[in-house]
Amino acid sequence: MILIVFVAAILALVLPRLLLGLYSGPRTYAAAQAPTLRVALVFGAGLSRDGTPSPVLQDRVATAAELYFSGKVEKLLMSGDNRFLDYNEPGAMLNFALKLGVPRSAIVLDYAGRRTYDTCYRAKAIFGVTEAILVTQAFHLPRAVFTCNALGLPAVGVIADRRPYAGPADIREYPASLVALWDVWVSRPLPVLGDPEPIFSAAAPAAPQTVVRSQKSPGP
């Protein structure tokens, strides 16, 4: 009996991760091969003690900036947690992107992206995003791509891996993948919402233009 329970528990953790990986694989690209869409959606990933982006988050922002400078996207929607006065992921992402030379006019901030589900939900419901390039690391992309698409936001992923990453992030994705399936198929929780803040007006042009980099991007 104990063995059966153990095997069932392992399958409950492994199968969702495999399912999400199979789903996201054909929808995942390197930055250079990504399709041209209007919005890059950048997920928060923690801050260092001094309030600056963690290395993981720096690489997400830098990859999104690369998409912008190459003309792949027009806008960067940076979504993160800002529940506390001394913890502001979107603000830190903004500051880092500005240092990379991304103009302020190309950046939109979502201060209520507390988790992947919330970020995907709000991108469509609050910011009017109709399709997006999701920018995050390879370990997180399967869950992000699945969640956004399952919530009605057509999305592809771009891998933001720019260095080796230490820590249990990949292991965390196993239970998180199970939670993602539960959220989109069963519970459908409502995140923090508010008034619509569409990124584009109805008269906005449909295709992004190639952008000239205003300054060099620092290395990882």
Segment 140-174, tens digit of pLDDT:
999 999 999 999 999 999 999 999 887 777 888 99
CA dist., res. 197 & res. 190, Å (int): 17
Average pLDDT, the chain: 90
Segment 17-51, tens digit of pLDDT:
999 999 999 999 999 999 999 999 999 999 999 99
What's the whole-model pTM score?
0.88
Helix axes 141-150, 169-182, angle to 10 degrees: 20
- Under DSSP, is residue 74 helix (H, G, I), strand (E, B) or coil? coil
| Confidence (pLDDT) at 167 | 72
Helix axes 55-69, 89-99, angle to 10 degrees: 50
CA dist., res. 77 & res. 39, Å (int): 7
User: Residue 215 pLDDT more than 50?
Assistant: no
Indicate the CATH number for domain 18-187.
3.40.50.620
| Confidence (pLDDT) at 6 | 62
| Confidence (pLDDT) at 150 | 98
User: Residue 193 pLDDT more than 60?
Assistant: yes
| Confidence (pLDDT) at 217 | 41
Give the start-to-end residue ranges of the domains of the chain.
Answer: 18-187
Distances in Å between the Cα of 79 and the Cα atoms of 25, 90, 127 are 23, 6, 11
User: Residue 116 pLDDT more than 60?
Assistant: yes
Among residues of the chain, what percentage have pLDDT more than 70? Answer: 88
